Structures are given as structure tokens and as C-alpha cells.
Amino acid sequence: MQIYLPIAELSINIFVLLGLGTAVGFLSGMFGVGGGFLMTPMLIFLGVTPAVAVASEANQVVAASVSGVMAHWRRSNVDFKMGGILVIGGLAGSTVGAFIFRALREIGQVDLVIFLSFAVFLGVIGSLMVMESVTRIIHSLLAIRPRRKAHVHYWVHGLPFKLRFHKSKLYISAVPPLVIGFFVGLLAAIMGVGGGFIMVPAMIYVLGMPTTVAVGTSLFQIIFITANVTFLHAVTNQTVDVVLALLLMLGAVIGAQFGTNVGVKLRAEHLRALLGLIVLAVCARIVWVLVAVPADRFSVGALIGG
Amino acid sequence: MKGQRHNRRAAAWAGLGVALGTLITVPAYAEPLTADLSSNLISITSSFTGADLILFGTRSGKGDVVVVIRGPASAQVVRHKTRINGIWVNSAGLTFINVPGFYAVAANRALHFVGAPELRLDTAAPAATEDRRLFREALIRNLRRQRLFQPFLGNITFLGDTLFRTNVEIPVNAPVGGYDVDFFLLRDGKLIAQQSAALFINKAGFERTIFDLANNRPAVYGLIAILLALMGGWIAATVFRRT
């Protein structure tokens, strides 16, 4: 059954969209990630223009993060103070990102920047995931137990404007979270992702937050960032397709339920290796688009701006 | 001329159709060209996958029939990709103004027709002749691939001597707006008669509401999109709450 998407202006099989939502939702439930970094490239591969894919996916991530944060909130795993600081940085970053996006559209380079961003981030994150989990699997086979520090203190924590974060058990400068928030907000606006795949490692390894609190807090701040991205893309680019977003949401909600059930049955390092491989596969597909000789070296697009 | 036609017809029917031939001869007072389309309004609803438009009409006397359909014009940028460090990057670009969003030509045979509405593809800024030719070809090639340009000749069929019809495929990506449909009757390359009809392609119903809201009230639309997502997420979390 085909459905015409009013903003994307193309007709796609409704079951393909629901299936994509379910598949990505399954993975996000299984691995505890947002899924935007997989969904946006998949939408582009389906023929949705990158501008519409990014804006509509940001809209869908709002829903995914709300439903995700509820469970963490109930378990009291959200650091609202840290989340608030990240949101301040993130709102600034995503606003700047939305205007950069608009400027890139006008000069016809937005597709390139989106593809390059995905290639770089998926490549780095996927490789790190695979390497780390393979190391752990080898260590567990050889029965090696790496010594771990309870809490690492970097120079960035000593910057001014120190604040106490009770939930995260931290007393650190507000500058690093502001900068991280800004950077992830920038990515959210340009790539249509929540940015959890960068935010969570940054919170754990740079800010030194406990893992349980990091995931919940990341989801909490993503709601505000992706809502801002949705709004700004709607206003500056008119590229948010709510029909597309709602269909993906519906699929993702169902997929996430199954994914979570499967996820708890698998071992963490195996799970991470698997996700790393999926991420690398999507990365490879994107790199192929960038380097393969295009069928037509000329492309046509509507003049944007003046 | 009329007698000549009768002679030919009589030969073709081998004497059988003399009476019949006289019957279907168009009366002298008839309009030289009368034409219309199967629908003047195409509504894009959620089940829209493109439309098939039937154009039909009658001609009096001999002559070639040509139909030209043009969609709403807009400025389009043609960009040329070049390889930079192994990656294909948009480099040079050329803007064409007044590019019809849809352009189709149909005729009963391949012919050179001087009087047809010219497909003017002017560039926004002056460009070298060779560049202009390359980019113009690329523009037409890309739009043909998207089925938005269908400059094919020779697909009008006649039923009998006077009745003609043709089908035009309106693709799913056809832009919304007013379309001009022009019918021409030519004899020996000279324009005998012309008739115009209007076609509107509009989004309708739910699709229309969303499209209009997104374009006319983008801030309200953005807030609604956020609200829907917040509600959707909350409902999902509530329905699937684990104990």
C-alpha cells in the first residue's frame, strides 16, 4: 500500500516505512541507542531527500527519547541539573547548526556535508565499538581482568564555573558540558540524530559520569535538542514531514519492545560488537555513495534562497 | 480537396464504404479543432502514485495534431560534480530561470513544429555557450529521468479520421499548481487552429492541510510536530510500561 508523503513529495510503501521503523526501533531497543544515526541514512537510501530525512528524523527522535527517558526517570537515573547545562549548550549548538544547514542548502553542499558527517562519525564509532568489544571478548577468553580507575580527573574539570552535580556525584566546571552540549547540538541539526552515540561516551569518559545516569540524562537532553531542531527545520527549511515521522515512530515503538527483550539475553560485548558491525556496514554504504562514479555527473535542484 | 479525400477513402474501402465515408465526413461548419482532457483537476491525496491523463479531441480535415503541456515554472540549479580527493563534490553550478516543472509534448508523428510554445531555458547569469549547452542538456536529461520532461513526439493516435487521443503520465513528483495544455492543428507545417485548456494539480484533504500549514504557518506546524512526537513518545512509554 503506497502512501504519499506531503512534504517529502514522494510515494512510499507504508509497510516499508513501518518495517524500517520497526527494524531500527528493534536495534535501538536492543542496544539502548536512539537509532537516528541509522534511520537518517536509511531514509536517504529510500529516496527521501537528505534535507527532509534529517528534519523528519529529528522529529521522530523526540518521540523515541521521550519514551526512552520515562523508564530511566522512574528509576531516578536522570541528572536534571547536568541535563539542563547540556540543554543550554545544545540549544545554542542546534540553532547554529540549523542556520549552517540552511546556508549549505543554498550553495548546494548540504548532501555532501551530511554524507561526510555520517561517514566520519559512523566510521569512528563503529570501529571503536568493534575494537573495544573484541578486546574484551579476548580478555574474557584469556581471563585477563584490566584494572579500572573508579574516577578519572582531567584538566577540563578544573576550569572555572564549578558546579556540584549530586546525581552524577561530580563537582566539575560547567564549561565541558556546555561545550559537549553545543557540539552534539550542532551534529543533531546537521545529521538529524539525537547524538546519544557521542553524548553518552563523552559523559562517561570526559565528564566522568556513572553509566546508568549518563544514558538517562542523555535521553533527557536529546528531547529538547531534537525538539529545537524540528522547530528550526520546520521554520527555515519547511522540510519536516510529520506523516513520515509518525509512521517511523509507530514502527520504532513496536520494534523497541522486541529489541529490549532480545537485548537483555545477549552479552554486552557481543551486543556492542554486533552494533559496531551494523554501524560499519551503513558507513561503508555511505562511503560508496561519496566515492562511486555518479550515474550522471550533473544534478538538478530547485533554487533555494535568492 | 474534399473530393480528393473522398477518392482516397473510396479506394481504401474498396468500394464498400462509400456510403459510410459520406456519413462520417465532418460538416463544413465544424470547428477545425476541438479538444479537452479527461480531468481538469488532479488531486494529490495520501494514495496518490501519479495519474494518467487522457487528452482527446476532433479535427476537421487533414492535419497534424500536437499537444504541449507545461507545468508551473521555477528556477532550477544544475550542478556539476567533480572528483576532489576521491570524493564527488558539487562544483560548478548554473541557474536556469523559468524551467517548467513539467513539460510534455505529444504529436501524431515526429515533425518539426515552429509555432509550438518554445521551451525557453534561460540562464540567470550569462554563461559561455559551451557551458550553457552542457548544463542545458544535463537539465533536460535529469528532468527526463524524473519523468517530468516527456518531450516525445509521435504518440497521438487517431480513431477514424477525426477523433484523436493520447495519454500523458503525470508522475508522482509533478509539482502542484496550474498547468497549460495547448492543442495545435497543423497543415503542411502551418498552424491552422489552436485550443487551450487548463489543468490544476493540487494537494487535497489531509495532504493539503499538512502542506499548507508547513508552508504558510511553519512555526505552528513545527510546534504541532513536536507536540505529536511528545504525545507519541509518552503514549508508547505508558502502553509498554514494564513493572
CA torsion A233→A234→A237→A243, rounded to 10°? 100
Lowest mean pLDDT among A144-153, A254-263, B46-55, B155-164: A144-153
| Helices and strands: H and E segment counts in chain A | 10, 5
Greater model confidence, A214 or A241: A241
pLDDT at A146 over 80: no
pLDDT at residue number B243: 43
C-alpha distances in Å from residue B155, one per residue of A190, B104, B105? 46, 11, 9
Overall average pLDDT of the A38-54 stretch: 93
B14 has pLDDT over 70? no
Residue spans of alpha helices (H) in A148-304: 175-191, 196-201, 211-236, 242-263, 268-291
Write down the pLDDT at residue A153.
62
* H or E element that contains A302: strand A298-302
Give the pLDDT mean for A270-296. 91
Average pLDDT over residues A96-100: 96
Q: Where are the domains of chain A?
A: 2-291
- Mention every residue, 6+ apart, whose C-beta is less than 8 A from residue A177: A82, A85, A86, A89, A207
Q: Is B63 left (phi over 0), alpha (psi -120 to 50) or beta?
A: left
Best probe of the A interface among B90, B132, B201, B220, by most A CBs < 10 A, is B90
Domain locations along chain B:
1-29, 31-203, 204-243
Q: Are A79 and A165 in contact (CB under 8 A)?
A: yes
Ranking A302-306, B60-64, B65-69, B224-228 by mean pLDDT, the lowest is: A302-306
Q: Which residues of A touch B87 (CB under 8 A)?
A: 112, 116, 290-291
Cβ burial, residue B38 (10 Å; 0-12/13-18/19+): middle
CB-based contact A299 B142, cutoff 8 Å: yes
Per-residue pLDDT tens digits for B93-113: 999 998 999 999 998 887 766
Q: Which residues of A214-223 are buried (b: 16+ CB within 10 A; e: fewer)?
A: bbbbbbbbbb
Q: Give me the mean pLDDT over the A138-150 stretch.
A: 71
B9 — pLDDT class (breaks 50, 70, 90): very low
Asked if the C-beta of B187 comes within 8 angstroms of chain A's C-beta atoms, the answer is: no
CB contact under 8 A, B143 and A70: no
pLDDT beyond 50 at B231? yes
3-state SS of chain B? CHHHHHHHHHHHCCCCCHHHHHHCCCCCCCCCEEEEECCCEEEECCCCCCEEEEEEEEECCCCEEEEEEECCEEEEEEEEEEEECCEEEEEEEEEEEEEECCEEEEECCCCCCCCCCCCCCEECCCCCHHHHHHHHHHHHHHHHHCCCEECCCCCCEEECCCEEEEEEEECCCCCCEEEEEEEEEEECCEEEEEEEEEEEEEECHHHHHHHHHHHHCHHHHHHHHHHHHHHHHHHHHHHCCCC
Cα(A74)–Cα(B32) distance, integer angstroms: 79
Q: In this model, does residue B116 exceed pLDDT 80?
A: no
pLDDT at B25: 45
Helix (H, G, I), strand (E, B) or coil at A109: coil
Please give the average per-residue pLDDT across B175-186, as a whole number.
93
Inspect the interface and report whether the beta carbons of A71 and B242 lie closer than 8 Å: yes
From the list A194, A151, A156, A148, the residue with the least C-alpha distance to A173 is A156
Q: Residue A4 and residue B90: Cβ atoms within 8 Å?
A: no
Question: Which of B61, B221, B41, B105 shows the shortest CA–CA distance to A245?
Answer: B221
Residue B124 pLDDT class (50, 70, 90 cuts): confident
Torsion of CA A128, A131, A134, A139, to 10 degrees: -100
* pLDDT score for B24: 44
Indicate if the pLDDT at residue B18 is higher than 80: no
- Chain A residues near residue B222 by CB distance under 8 angstroms: 230-235, 240
Indicate yes or no: pTM above 0.90.
no
Whole-number pLDDT of residue B1: 42
pLDDT at A106: 92
Mean pLDDT, to the nearest integer, of A51-57? 96
Which SS3 state, helix, strand or coil, does residue A138 take? helix
Domain covering B31-203 in this structure, CATH number: 2.60.40.1930
Are A296 and B145 in contact (CB < 8 Å)?
yes
- Burial, A199: exposed, middle or buried (Cβ in 10 Å; 0-12, 13-18, 19+)? buried
pLDDT at B152 over 90: no
Residue B28 scores a pLDDT above 70: no
Range among A127-136, B17-26, B109-118 rated most confident: A127-136
Closest by alpha carbon to B225, among A45, A274, A248?
A: A248
Q: Say how far residue B54 (Cα) sits from the centre of its chain.
A: 12
What integer pLDDT is reported at residue B26 of this predicted model? 45
Q: How confident is the model at residue B239 (pLDDT cuts 50, 70, 90)?
A: confident
Q: By C-alpha distance, which of B163, B155, B196, B167 is closest to B58?
A: B163
Q: What is the mean pLDDT of residues A127-135?
A: 88
Does residue A1 register a pLDDT over 80? yes
pLDDT mean across residues, chain B: 84
CA of B76: which chain A residue's CA is closest?
A: A302
pLDDT of A119 > 70? The answer is yes
Rounded to the nearest integer, the mean pLDDT of chain A is 89
Check residue A69 and give its pLDDT. Answer: 87
Q: Does B62 touch chain A (CB under 8 A)?
A: no
